[in-house]
A and B are shown apart, each in its own frame.
Chain A
Amino acid sequence: MDGQQRIPILKVGRVLIVPIQVDMDDQTVIHLQERILTELERTGARGVLIDISLLEMVDSFIGRVLSDVAAMARIMDARTVVVGMQPAVAITLVELGLELRGVDTVLNVDEGIRLLRSEFGIDEDEEGAGPHGGAFAEQVNRP
C-alpha cells in the first residue's frame, strides 16, 4: 500500500542521474527528494540530472517538488537539470499554470550532461554517453 517505489540514483562523475520511470506516489516523490539531497552531500556531486522522459504526468505536486529539489540543490552548490519532458506534459504544465521555477530543462540526457559539464568545466572525454544508467555509470567512473 504505502510501500515506496525505488527510484535509482546513479552517480556519473560529478553528476547524479535520476531516471524516473514510473508514476510515483507522493511518498515516493518526497522520499526521492530526500535521497537526492543525501546523495549530494555524500558524493559531493555538482549536478543533478532528473530524467522524466518516461513520466507521463507532472502535476502541481511533482512540479513543486522538482522546483524544491532544484532550490535545495542550489543551496548545496549543485545545479539541477530536468531532461526529456514529453511535449504533452509540457503543454499540460503550461495550461495548469505551473512554472518549474529555478529548474533548467533540456531535451535529452546528452544535452543535460553537456550542460552540467560545461558548468563545472569537467573534461568531456567520454564517448557515446547514452541515457541508460548501468553502462553509463561504469563508463564515467574515471576521474
Chain B
Amino acid sequence: MQGITSTRLGDIYVRREADIVKVRERVRRLAREMGFDATTQIKITTAVSELTRNIYEYARAGAITLSLAQRGHAAAGLQIIARDDGPGIEEARLRSIVRGSYRSPSGLGVGLIGTRRLMDEFDIQSRAGEGTRVTVVKWLPPTEAEEARSRADELRDYLATDEDDSALEELSRQNRDLVQVLGELEEKREQLEQVNRRLEESNRELNEANAKLRELSAMKEEFLALTTHDLRSPLAVISGVINFFTSGRLGDLTSEQKNMVEMMERNTQNLIELVNDLLDASKLESGTMRLDAASIGLRGLIEELREQMQPLAAEKEIALEDEIPEELPDLRADRAKLRRVLVNLVSNALKFTPKGGRVRVSAAREGGMVRVSVADTGVGIPEDDLKDIFDKYAQARSRATRSEKGTGLGLYITRQLVELHGGKIEVQSEVGKGSTFSFTIPIAS
C-alpha cells in the first residue's frame, strides 16, 4: 500500500476455529485502546472476523498481523494484514473482488466485499496456489491520530500483555497440538492392535476350520474306501453265481430266464465298474495309488482293447479303427492302468457316438513321449463343459450327458492316471462333429 508506513504491534495465529473469537476480542480491545469510537470498533472487529474466517475456511491456518499505520505527517490508523498459504484466489476472481462485483457462490458474498466497505484501505494480493494476503487499514479521526502516532511501543506492550499471544503461547499451543497428535497416534495404535488381535483370532478359527475340514475329508475318503471294498465282495459273489447260470452248468435256461439273467449280468457289471471307479478315485485322492511301471508295447494293448470293445462297437455299427505306427517305441507305464485309460476313453467315445459313426485310436511319437489320441464322430462337447470335463463328477453337472449312465468319475480317474504316469491329457471338441481326447505317456528309456 503506497505511502503508508507501518509499525508492527503483534501477530495472532489462526489455527483453529476458536481463534476467530480470539482475534475478534484482541482486535476489538486494541481498537478501543487506540481511540476508535464504539461503532468503528465494531466495524473493525466485524471486518477482521470476516478475514479470519476466510483464513480458517480456505487455508485452515494463517496469521493476523496488527500494525500501527501512518501516512504523511498526521494520519494514523490500525493496519490489519491477514495472510495464509492456502490455495489462493485465481486472477479473474481476484479482479472481480477488487472491482467489487464479485458474488461468492458459497456464502452471502459479503466476506471480502463487506470488509472492503467497512475499512478505509483495502488491498488484496493472491495467486492461485500461493496463498492470499489481505491488507486493510482504518484511519483514526485526526483528534486521536496524533496521540496514537506516539504510542506504538505502548500499544505493542498492550497487545503483548495478552498473555497467550506471545511466542510462549505459540509454543505451548504447538505443544498441546503435539500432545493431541500423540494421543491420536496412541489411539490409532490401540485400534491397530485390536484389529490385529481380531485378525489373529479369525486366523486361528480359520486354521481350526481347516483342520476340521481336512479331518472330515480324510474320514470321507476312508468311508468311501471301506464301503466300496465291502460292496465289492458281495458283488463278486453275485457275479460268480450269474456265471453259473450263463455257463449252463445249472442246466439249460428258458429264453425268458436267459433274458433275465443277462439283465442281471449287465447290471451287476455296471455296479462292479462303478464300485471300481469309486475305489480308484478314493485311492487317487488319498495318494495311495501306486504305479507298477514296466515297458509296454502299445500295439499289443490296442489289440486286446479291440477284442474287448468290438462287440459294443458292432452293436452300434461303429467302425473301430486304429493306426499305430510300426516303429513306435515301447512305453513306460503300468499296464493295467494304461489299459484302464484306453478303455475309459474308447468306451466313452463309443457311448457318445451315434450309430454308423467312427472311433479311431492313433499314436505318434512326440519327443520323449508318445501321444495317443482317441477321436470320435460323436455328439461333441459344448465349450462350457470342456473346461471342467476332467473334474470329479463333471458329468453330473453337465446337462448334456446327465441322461447317460455313469458316475462322471471316468474322466477324472483317467486324467489322474495319465498324470500319475507323468503325462498330460487334453480334449478338443466341436458340437455335432465329434471329440478327440489325446494323452501323452513317456517312452521306455
Binds A, one of B37-45, B88-96, B246-254, B286-294: B37-45
CA distance A135 to B310 in the complex (A): 115
Cβ-based interface call for A54 (8 A): no
Q: Is the CB of B117 within 8 A of A97?
A: yes
Determine which of A25, A87, A97 lies in contact with B39 in the assembled complex, contact meaning CB atoms within 8 Å.
A87
Given contacts A87-B39, A92-B46, A96-B118, contact A25 B107 (CB under 8 A): no
- Please tell me if A10 contacts chain B, counting CB pairs below 8 Å: no
Instruction: Check: B237 CB closer than 8 A to any chain A CB.
Output: no
Q: Any chain B CB within 8 A of the CB of A75?
A: no
Q: How far is the CA of A98 from the CA of B107 in the complex (A)?
A: 11
Minimal beta-carbon separation of A27 from chain B (angstroms): 6
Chain B nearest CB from A99 CB (Å) reads: 8
Q: A98 with B110: in contact, given A23-B21, A92-B42 (CB under 8 Å)?
A: yes
Interface string of A86-113 (1 = CB under 8 A from B): 1111011001111000000000000000
Q: In this assembly, does A74 line the interface, its C-beta being within 8 Å of a C-beta of chain B? A: no
Alpha-carbon gap, A63 to B118, bound state (A): 16
- A60 to B118, alpha carbons, bound, how many Å? 13
Q: How far is the CB of A64 from chain B (nearest CB, A)?
A: 6
Give A68-93 interface residues, CB cut-off 8 Å to B. 86-89, 91-92
Once the chains are docked, how many angstroms separate the CA of A57 from the CA of B31?
Answer: 14
A41 within 8 A of B: no
A48 to chain B, nearest CB (A): 21
- The size bracket of the interface on A is 20 to 34
The verdict on A58 contacting chain B, using a C-beta distance below 8 Å, is yes
5 closest cross-chain pairs (CB), A and B: A96-B114, A88-B39, A59-B49, A88-B42, A25-B21
B83 interface contact, C-beta 8 A: no
Which of B28, B50, B110 is close to A56, meaning CB atoms less than 8 Å apart? B28
Contact flags (1/0) for B1-26 with A, using CB distance below 8 Å? 00000000000000011101100110
Question: How far is it, in angstroms, between the C-alpha of A62 and the C-alpha of B386 when the chains are bound?
Answer: 73
Q: Is the CB of A26 within 8 A of B25?
A: no
CA distance A93 to B384 in the complex (A): 76
Are B17 and A26 in touch, CB under 8 angstroms? yes
B119 CB to closest chain A CB, in angstroms? 10
Cα(A60)–Cα(B39), bound, Å: 17
Which residue in A25, A58, A60, A89 is a CB contact (below 8 Å) of B18? Answer: A25
Interface centre among A1, A60, A89 (most CB of B within 10 A): A60
Report which of B16, B42, B111 forms a contact with A1, defined as CB distance below 8 A. Answer: B16
Measured in the bound complex, the distance between the Cα atoms of B396 and A107 in whole Å is 89
Q: How far is the CA of A7 from the CA of B294 in the complex (A)?
A: 98
Contact indicator A98/B108 (Cβ below 8 Å): yes
Q: Assess whether B358 is interfacial by the CB under 8 Å rule.
A: no
For the complex, is A61 an interface residue (Cβ under 8 Å from B)? yes
Chain B CB within 8 A of A125 CB: no
Give the nearest-CB partner of A5 in chain B.
Answer: B21
Instruction: For B41, list chain A residues within 8 Å (CB).
Output: 88
Cα–Cα distance between A25 and B21 once the two chains are bound (Å) = 6
What is the 8 Å Cβ interface bit string for chain B, positions 102-125, against chain A (1 contact, 0 not)? 000001101101110110000000
When the two chains form their complex, are residues B43 and A98 in contact, meaning their CB atoms are under 8 A apart? no
Contact A59 B39 (CB under 8 A): no
Q: Is A2 an interface residue (CB 8 A)?
A: yes
In the assembled complex, which residues on chain B have CB atoms less than 8 Å from the CB atom of A64? 107-108
Distance in Å: Cβ of A15 to nearest Cβ of chain B = 28
A25 to B108, CA, bound (A): 19
In Å, the complex CA distance between A59 and B54 comes to 12
8 A-B interface contacts by CB (under 8 A): A57-B42, A91-B42, A92-B118, A96-B50, A96-B110, A96-B117, A97-B108, A97-B110
On chain A, the residues within 8 Å of B53 by CB distance are 26, 59-61
Residue from the list B16, B20, B38, B49 in contact with A2, Cβ < 8 A: B16
Question: Which chain B positions have C-beta within 8 A of A91?
Answer: 39, 42-43
Nearest CB of chain B from residue A39's CB, rounded to whole Å? 24
Query: Is A96 in contact with B21, judged by CB distance below 8 angstroms?
Result: no
CB contact list, A1-51 vs B, under 8 A: 1-2, 23-27
User: Which residue of B has the minimal Cβ distance to A62?
Assistant: B49
Per-residue contact bits, chain B 381-407, to A (CB 8 Å; 1 contact, 0 not): 000000000000000000000000000
B442 → A minimal CB distance (Å): 78
In contact, B18 and A2 (Cβ under 8 angstroms): yes
User: Which residues of the partner chain A approach B108 to less than 8 Å between Cβ atoms?
Assistant: 60, 63-64, 97-98
The residue that A95 contacts in the complex, of B18, B25, B45, B117, with Cβ under 8 A, is B117
B49, A1: Cβ atoms closer than 8 Å: no
Say yes or no: B43 contacts A95, CB within 8 Å: yes
